[in-house]
Amino acid sequence: MLTVKYIMIGGFLGSGKTTSMLRAAEYFSKQGLRVGLISNDQSQGLVDTNLLSSSGFATEEISGGCFCCRFPSLLQATEKLDRDARPDVYLAEPVGSCTDLVATVVYPLEQMVGHRYSIAPLSVLVDPIRAQRFLGILTGKTFSPKVNYIYGKQLEEAELIVINKKELLDAESLDRLTKTLEDRYPKSRVLSLSARTGEGLEEWFTILSTSQQQNRATMEVDYDLYAQGEALLGWVNFSWKVSGPEFDGNDFLKGMLQEIHEHFVDRIPIAHLKGTLLPDQGNDIAVANLVREDGTVEQSHELLETLERGELTLNLRAEADPEMLREAVEVSLQKACQQFRLEPQEIHSAAFRPLPPTPTYRLSR
Told to check if 357 binds ligand GTP by CB under 6 A, we report no
> 269: which residues sit within 8 A by CB, 6+ positions away?
141, 142, 143, 293, 318, 319, 320
Which window, 11-19, 107-115, 172-180, 253-261, contacts ligand GTP (CB under 6 A)?
A: 11-19
Told to check if 128 binds ligand GTP by CB under 6 A, we report no
Kindly state the number of chain residues that form the binding site for Mg ion, as judged by CB under 5 A. 3
Which window, 109-117, 165-173, 183-191, 306-314, contacts ligand GTP (CB under 6 A)?
A: 165-173
Site for ligand GTP in 168-187 (CB under 6 A): 168
Q: What backbone phi and psi angles, to 5 degrees, belong to 318?
A: -150, 160
Which window, 14-22, 133-141, 250-258, 302-310, contacts ligand GTP (CB under 6 A)?
A: 14-22
Cβ distance to ligand GTP smaller for residue 114 or 295: 295
Q: Would you tell me how many other CB atoms lie within 10 Å of the CB of residue 261?
A: 20
Told to check if 253 binds ligand GTP by CB under 6 A, we report no
Told to check if 274 binds Mg ion by CB under 5 A, we report no
What does 16 interact with, of ligand GTP, Mg ion, none (CB < 5 to 8 A by kind)?
ligand GTP
Residue 314 CB, nearest distance to Mg ion (Å)? 14
Which window, 1-9, 11-19, 172-180, 354-362, contacts Mg ion (CB under 5 A)?
A: 11-19
Told to check if 45 binds ligand GTP by CB under 6 A, we report no
| Residue least distant from Mg ion (Cβ) | 18
CA 255 – CA 116 distance, rounded (Å): 47
Told to check if 18 binds Mg ion by CB under 5 A, we report yes
Count, residues in the chain: 365
Which window, 13-21, 112-120, 133-141, 221-229, contacts ligand GTP (CB under 6 A)?
A: 13-21
Cβ distance to ligand GTP smaller for residue 352 or 361: 352
CA 279 – CA 42 distance, rounded (Å): 25
Sheet strands (E) in 232-297: 234-247, 270-279, 286-290
Told to check if 48 binds Mg ion by CB under 5 A, we report yes
What sign for the dihedral angle of Cα 175, 180, 183, 186? negative
What does 168 interact with, of ligand GTP, Mg ion, none (CB < 5 to 8 A by kind)?
ligand GTP
- Specify the DSSP class assigned to residue 167: G
Site for ligand GTP in 276-315 (CB under 6 A): 289, 291, 298, 300
Are 157 and 149 in contact, with CB atoms under 8 Å apart?
no
Q: Between the CA of residue 60 and those of 63, 95, 229, what are the distances in Å? A: 10, 14, 28
CA 3 – CA 123 distance, rounded (Å): 19
Residue 64 CB, nearest distance to ligand GTP (Å)? 15
Told to check if 313 binds Mg ion by CB under 5 A, we report no
Residue 311 CB, nearest distance to ligand GTP (Å)? 18
3-class secondary-structure state, position 112: helix
3-class secondary-structure state, position 5: strand
The 3-class secondary structure across 300-331, one letter per residue, is EECCCCCEEEEEEEEEEEECCCHHHHHHHHHH
Q: Name the residues that contact ligand GTP, by CB under 6 A.
A: 11, 13-19, 48, 96, 164-165, 167-168, 194-196, 272, 274, 289, 291, 298, 300
